[in-house]
């Protein structure tokens, strides 16, 4: 367990809501490895639960290809013949010829993470031989263990799934590309989704050519799968609920066991003091996040931290109840037209979905 820091309010059955701003989580290295599994939102997803859009044949094709890819990843050390130690040197497997990776290419909300998690679940290997994490979590693992130890820790895996592969930091891109090259040499299969490069505008989707160019020598290992479609989170759903009043949010926080209550500007300041890799631990045990005085974020660094928090809240299915401005007004027009536009639209999409989930917290 991570030490998430103190609660606000007194302990006991009458304790008030906790405060995220009062938490300073520490995540030990062994937990970073143990938590490389699909997050709670995607724990039960499978290929047959994917919300296929009948007007987008690329989605059905992706399910077919990924199902076959998973079935082909069985092998001697995928059959459960002994549990690996966290930091032991894994059994090396002769590299296979041809593509050993898939890249899911599509806009936000088309279900790439659902498909990536379904691939993890469908791969015939025990959980200890499969890893699933975001790019940020993977780079943090390298920072905690060191490059060589990370290679040893993941080198015996059958599959490594990387969600939200970041291509906007050249140094981290080179680091992870080098790591993946070493893992491929040991027979590890790869699967990835990715984010938009700075300055790449267009249609709000990431181009596979950008991903393959940035990972350089690994490009031949990946088969790109384009997944077209609209954001499923808003497909046929009503508009996001309007923000509530400060009083409604506070009342709901006190009435909801396990809820947190924070002033939005204060939370943004606190996020600058916590490494983004710890944002999941920051929300551990939280039943709902209640925020007052939500307003436009002041700068891009703050906005990018908020994107990571939104992702972790969405992964963990934590409702978000807020007062202030609607979530579609968090980011300025300049941000929404800039190089990180895909991240900001994803955050708006996910926070909007979580706001819908939170409507029931307010007494009608």
- What is the mean pLDDT, run by run of 10 residues, along the chain of 364 residues? 46 73 89 88 94 92 95 61 38 49 83 95 94 89 91 94 79 85 93 61 48 65 83 61 94 97 98 90 96 97 94 94 95 89 86 93 78
Q: What's the order of all strands across the beta sheet hosting 288-294?
A: 259-263, 288-294, 320-324
Query: Can you give the pLDDT at residue 164?
Result: 83
268 in Cβ contact with 305 (< 8 Å): yes
Query: Can you give the pLDDT at residue 204?
Result: 41
Query: Can you give the pLDDT at residue 215?
Result: 64
Query: Can you give the pLDDT at residue 201?
Result: 32
Residues in Cβ contact with 33 at an 8 Å cutoff, skipping those fewer than 6 apart: 86, 87, 141, 153
Helices within 155-198 (DSSP H only): 170-185
Helices within the chain (DSSP H only): 29-34, 57-71, 112-122, 135-145, 147-154, 170-185, 208-214, 246-255, 264-271, 279-282, 300-315, 333-336, 341-358
Query: Can you give the pLDDT at residue 48?
Result: 95
164 in Cβ contact with 139 (< 8 Å): no
Rg of the chain (C-alpha set): 21
210 in Cβ contact with 358 (< 8 Å): no
Cα–Cα distances (Å) from 363 to 240, 244, 256, in that order, read 18, 11, 11
Query: Can you give the pLDDT at residue 96?
Result: 43
Query: Can you give the pLDDT at residue 106?
Result: 80
How many residues are listed for the chain in this entry? 364
Query: Can you give the pLDDT at residue 288?
Result: 98
The DSSP code for 220 is G
Task: Look at the block and give the residue holding tokens 């709902």.
Answer: 288
Q: Buried (b) or exposed (e) across 133-161, using 16+ Cβ within 10 A? A: bbbbbbbbbbebbeeeebbbbbbbbbbbb
Rounded to the nearest angstrom, the gap between the alpha carbon of residue 203 and the centroid of all alpha carbons in its chain is: 22
pTM for this entry: 0.75
Strands 101-105 and 320-324, sheet pairing: unpaired
């Amino acid at each position: 367990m991570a030490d998430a820091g103190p609660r606000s309010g007194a302990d006991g059955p009458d304790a008030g809501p906790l405060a995220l701003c009062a938490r300073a989580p520490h995540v030990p290295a062994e937990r970073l490895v143990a938590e490389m599994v699909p997050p709670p939102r995607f724990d039960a997803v499978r290929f047959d639960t994917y919300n296929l859009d009948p007007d987008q044949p690329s989605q059905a094709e992706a399910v077919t290809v990924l199902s076959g890819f998973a079935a082909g990843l069985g092998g001697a050390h995928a059959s459960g013949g002994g549990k690996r130690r966290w930091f032991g040197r894994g059994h090396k497997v002769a590299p296979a010829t041809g593509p050993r990776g898939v890249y899911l290419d599509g806009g936000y909300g088309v279900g790439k993470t659902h498909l990536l998690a379904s691939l993890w679940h469908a791969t015939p290997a025990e959980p200890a031989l499969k890893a699933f994490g975001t790019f940020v979590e993977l780079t943090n693992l390298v920072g905690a263990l060191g490059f060589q130890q990370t290679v040893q820790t993941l080198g015996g895996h059958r599959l490594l799934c990387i969600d939200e592969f970041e291509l906007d930091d050249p140094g981290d891109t080179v680091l992870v590309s080098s790591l993946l090259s070493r893992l491929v040499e040991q027979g590890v299969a790869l699967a990835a989704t990715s984010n938009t490069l700075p300055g790449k505008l267009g249609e709000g989707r990431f181009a596979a050519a950008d991903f393959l160019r940035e990972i350089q020598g690994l490009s031949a290992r990946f088969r790109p799968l384009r997944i077209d479609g609209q954001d499923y989170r808003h497909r046929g759903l009503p508009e996001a609920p309007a923000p509530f009043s400060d009083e409604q949010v506070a009342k709901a926080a006190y009435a909801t066991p396990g809820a947190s209550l924070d002033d939005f500007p204060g939370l943004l300041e606190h996020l600058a003091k916590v490494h983004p890799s710890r944002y999941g631990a920051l929300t551990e045990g939280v039943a709902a996040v209640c925020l007052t005085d939500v307003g436009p974020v002041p700068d891009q660094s703050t906005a990018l931290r908020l994107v990571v928090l939104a992702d972790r809240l969405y992964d963990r299915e934590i409702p978000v109840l807020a007062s202030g401005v609607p979530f579609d007004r968090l980011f300025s027009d300049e941000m929404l037209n800039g190089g990180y536009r895909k991240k900001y639209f994803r955050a708006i999409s996910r926070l909007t979905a979580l706001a819908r989930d939170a409507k029931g917290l307010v007494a009608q």
